[in-house]
Structure 1
Amino acid sequence: MRLYNTLERKKQEFEPLNGNTVNMYVCGITAYDLCHIGNARSSVVFDAMVRYLRYRGYDVNFIKNFTDVDDKIIKRAHETGMEPGELAAKFIDEFNIDMQRLNVLRADVEPKCTEHIAEMVELTERLIEKGHAYATDDGDVYFRVRSFADYGKLSGRNVDEMEAGARVELGETKEDPLDFALWKSAKPGEPSWESPWGLGRPGWHLECSAMSEKYAPLPLDIHGGGQDLAFPHHENEIAQTEAATGKPFSRFWVHNGFVQINFEKMSKSLGNFFTTRELMNKFMPEALRYFLLSNHYRSPLDFSFDALEEAEKGLKRVYSALAQIDAELTKTKWKKSPFPEELETEMDAIEAKWTESMEDDLNTAAALGQIFNAVRLAGRVLEDKSLRKSEGAKKLWARIADRIRSWSDALGLFGSDPEKVLEELRNVRAARKGIDPAVVQAKLDERLAARKEKDFARSDELRDELAAMGVEVKDTPTGATWDV
């Protein structure tokens, strides 16, 4: 498997350092609000990475933190009248609810900043002892950026060029404008903890270094997060960890791209901000997950409601194929007739290309393309009257369904009951258009009664009424079905 390593600026062959175990750390949310679609993309991307590594047989030790004390949390707590810890706990719970709906697996370890203050104090003390950090008379502790010769190696920034744009905020007593806070002295009304430098709290960058070192041997195999974290967060993590330990922090640094709205980065200030919750209240969570995996994880992902509707169509197409295959496998009487060998060979190629896509820097977009190739292959056999009842068709369909369901373990998609998903998908789409399924069913029942009484004029009227509502009716041997 090859992964793009931000540190080396190229794809590299990935193998874990310690036998079969992959030690992987991903920066989690700062818990002050409901998670937005950008948070969801990072969570889904790294969930797919963990799933695929496990699919390949690796034992993944997955660590994902929660920042539960921070300037944003304190500010929001003051605005709402809640205690900062209470606010953070609330939004961690809300995040977990959203991620469960998105089929994101929980991490093996989910450390919280406030539960690891002792480890952060100890790490800060080590840095001071080694001359990489210093305490001020005000009780703040800063990291000496210039004491770490490799500073800037992740982001490609030059320290001397950075100095021109650096500034010291009011009240800061840094030796150098580039230095960053490891420990912040307590301010009135803020959460604080005892330390050798007085009451205070850790700086944001410090927590990931302390917690990853506690739960995995260094260097990590993979450290991940959003593209916006590469600088300064991950750059600072590298500096403080490697200065303290003398070891590389992580062998691979992996970053996912931004979610854009009409080719602009999503932000509250631009008014183009969507929470994961509000989107999942209008679209099936699995459709949102499908959308988030439909582009390569390092590429920008342009959000639109049209794109989510396309994701629904993709979801419907795969689940419809699975439902049809399941039905065929239970009802068809099979014949021992010739079956073209090239169809099995075609499926061999699809399987190989699916694996090749995932092995090539987790290209889920290309992997989804191979799933649709498998669906098209199943459809071609289904439409061919000379093939569809052959033993060869049975074998191929069973193989296609088995492969798609196996791949669902790696993607977190297409693993549910097809009939239930198709019904839920239809009802979600109906709700967006203001269509009441109960009203539709009542009209279908009335139409069925009219047809039984041979009142075809009334039957046609009811079909027209349903069409005017935005409902398409399809008559099948087992009865009428409907869709939006």
Structure 2
Amino acid sequence: MLLYNTLGRQKEEFIPVRPGKVNMYVCGITAYDYCHIGHARSALVFDVLVRHLRHRGLDVFFVRNFTDVDDKIINRANKEGRAWREVAQTYIDAFHEDMDRLHVLRADAEPRATEYIAEIEALCAKLIAEGKAYAAPSGDVYFRVRSYAPYGKLSGRGLDELLSGARVAPGEEKEDPLDFALWKAAKPGEPSWESPWGQGRPGWHIECSAMSAPYLPLDIHGGGQDLIFPHHENEIAQSEAACRCELARYWVHNGFVQVNAEKMSKSLGNFKTIRDILESYLPETLRFFLLGKHYRSPIDFTPEGMDEAEKAQHRVYASMLEAEKALARSTWKKSPLPQQLLQEWAALPQAFEASLDDDLNTAQALGQIFSQVRIVNRLLEEKSLRSSEGARGLLEEFLERSRNWEAQLGLFGREPAAFLADLRAMRGKRKNLDLHAVESLLHERQDARSRKDFARSDALRDRLLALGVTVRDTPEGQTWDLE
């Protein structure tokens, strides 16, 4: 398996530090607000990575932390007149609710920064004792960036480049503009803990160093591209300076999400929370959309893109449903399937696995699924093929393969009829369509057909079509869907 390693700026063969075992740490949310679509993408990327590694037989221990004390949490608590712990807990609970809806597996460990205060203080003290950090008179503790020679190796930024944009703010006690805070002296009204340097609280970067320390050396450390600098760069510096070891062998970062080709921000009014999106689309549709591009590429969130994802999902689930129906009703003849079709069919599972082995290329893996759907639809539609004994075997295998897609991608694991019903309901909601009225028209049309009143039946079909409802007559009766 190949993974793109930000540290080496290339795809590298994935070789665990300990044979058969993988320790993976991913930076989680700062718990001060509902999760947005960028959080969803990062969570899904690493969810699929965990699933695929486990599918390959590796024993994965997955750690995802929560930052539960931070300026943003404190500011929100003050604004709302609530305790900061209550604010953090509210949005940790909301995170779990959102991720459960998106079918994201729970992490094996979910440490919180406030559970590691003693470890953070010990790490700061060790760095001070070794001359890698220093305490200022105010009680702030800073890391000496120049004490760690490889600083910048992850982001590729040199010290001269960083120095040109660095400034020391009034009141700061840094020895060097490049130095960053490990511990912050307490301000009035803020949460704080006793330390050798006075009351204070941890800086952001040191939290992850303390929370990841029990699992060193890490095989994989991940997060969004926005974390490469300064967060992950600083995390490497302080962790490796303290442990004199490698923090992580592979650094994996997912690309950004834009909304209608613009950076997502509250000021632009295009800020999309997961909950906003799930008012209009099914959770699996959002999951499908976000896995539809390679994880390192930027992705542009648009309603049109979501609609296309929905249609693509519909094709797969509709084929699964038709395969189930065919298996339930058909009689089979001992006629062979074309050899070329059989060869193509046999090669597709291996191509699916190869796509995920090649730097977790979910977009390409989905393409292999749709190649299988095309073959299945051909089997269902061509008279010369659909009654073949060989077709039965392929249809059974198609449904069996869908269970593997669910295991590795978290997609196509639902009962097809139930999913398609939910999809119709969601489309009806977006169109403000009364589905009870639609069902009534469908019953009326079915009654007209049974009475051979085809003029009435056609008129009702036209009324339904005007509502965006397509009707198809089959040997089992009429079926319908929303465009």
TM-score after normalising by structure 2: 0.97
Task: Specify the alignment match of 1:364 in structure 2.
Answer: 362
Deviation sequence 1:262-321 (CA, Å, 0-9, x none)? 333222222221101110110011000000000000000011000000110111111111
Deviation sequence 1:361-388 (CA, Å, 0-9, x none)? 0000000000000100111222221221
Task: Specify the alignment match of 1:184 in structure 2.
Answer: 184
Task: Specify the alignment match of 1:157 in structure 2.
Answer: 157
Alignment of 1:107-126 (within 5 A): 107-126=107-126
Q: Secondary structure at the match of 1:387?
A: helix
Q: 2:378 aligns with which of 380, 387, 390?
A: 380
Task: Specify the alignment match of 2:166 in structure 1.
Answer: 166
CA distance in 1, matches of 2:480, 2:428: 11
Amino acid paired to 2:286: L
CA distance in 2, matches of 1:469, 1:41: 34
CA distance in 2, matches of 1:328, 1:170: 75
Task: Specify the alignment match of 1:483 in structure 2.
Answer: 481
Amino acid paired to 2:368: Q
CA distance in 1, matches of 2:160, 2:12: 30
Task: Specify the alignment match of 2:417 in structure 1.
Answer: 419
1:230 and 2:228 matched: yes
Task: Specify the alignment match of 1:467 in structure 2.
Answer: 465
Task: Specify the alignment match of 1:58 in structure 2.
Answer: 58
CA displacement at 1:453 relative to structure 2? 4.2
CA displacement at 1:50 relative to structure 2? 0.4
Amino acid paired to 1:318: V
CA displacement at 1:339 relative to structure 2? 2.3
Q: Secondary structure at the match of 1:251?
A: strand
Q: Secondary structure at the match of 2:306?
A: helix
Q: Secondary structure at the match of 1:107?
A: coil
Task: Specify the alignment match of 2:129 in structure 1.
Answer: 129
CA distance in 2, matches of 1:211, 1:17: 19
1:403 and 2:401 matched: yes
CA displacement at 1:456 relative to structure 2? 4.0
Amino acid paired to 1:118: A
Q: Secondary structure at the match of 1:212?
A: helix
Amino acid paired to 1:398: E
Deviation sequence 1:330-368 (CA, Å, 0-9, x none)? 211111122223222111221221111111000000000
1:305 and 2:282 matched: no
CA distance in 1, matches of 2:413, 2:452: 43
Amino acid paired to 1:323: L
CA displacement at 1:328 relative to structure 2? 1.2
Q: 1:154 to 1:271 in 2, by over 3 A?
A: same
CA displacement at 1:97 relative to structure 2? 0.5
CA displacement at 1:466 relative to structure 2? 2.1
Q: 2:283 aligns with which of 258, 282, 285?
A: 285
CA distance in 2, matches of 1:394, 1:308: 33
- Identity among equivalent positions (%) equals 61
Q: Secondary structure at the match of 2:219?
A: strand
Q: Secondary structure at the match of 2:384?
A: coil
Amino acid paired to 2:347: A
Amino acid paired to 2:29: I
Task: Specify the alignment match of 1:428 in structure 2.
Answer: 426
Amino acid paired to 2:52: Y
CA distance in 1, matches of 2:454, 2:16: 68
CA distance in 1, matches of 2:313, 2:473: 23
CA displacement at 1:455 relative to structure 2? 4.3
CA distance in 2, matches of 1:170, 1:327: 73
CA distance in 1, matches of 2:204, 2:250: 21
CA distance in 2, matches of 1:71, 1:393: 61
| Structure 2 gap segments, 5+ residues each | none
Aligned residues, how many?
Answer: 482
| Structure 1 gap segments, 5+ residues each | none
The alignment yields a C-alpha RMSD, in angstroms, of 1.3
Deviation sequence 1:16-61 (CA, Å, 0-9, x none)? 1112111000000111111000010000000000010011111100
Amino acid paired to 2:188: P
CA displacement at 1:465 relative to structure 2? 2.5
CA displacement at 1:201 relative to structure 2? 0.6
CA distance in 1, matches of 2:358, 2:256: 20
Deviation sequence 1:430-484 (CA, Å, 0-9, x none)? 1100112111112222333344444444433333332222222222333322211
Task: Specify the alignment match of 1:81 in structure 2.
Answer: 81
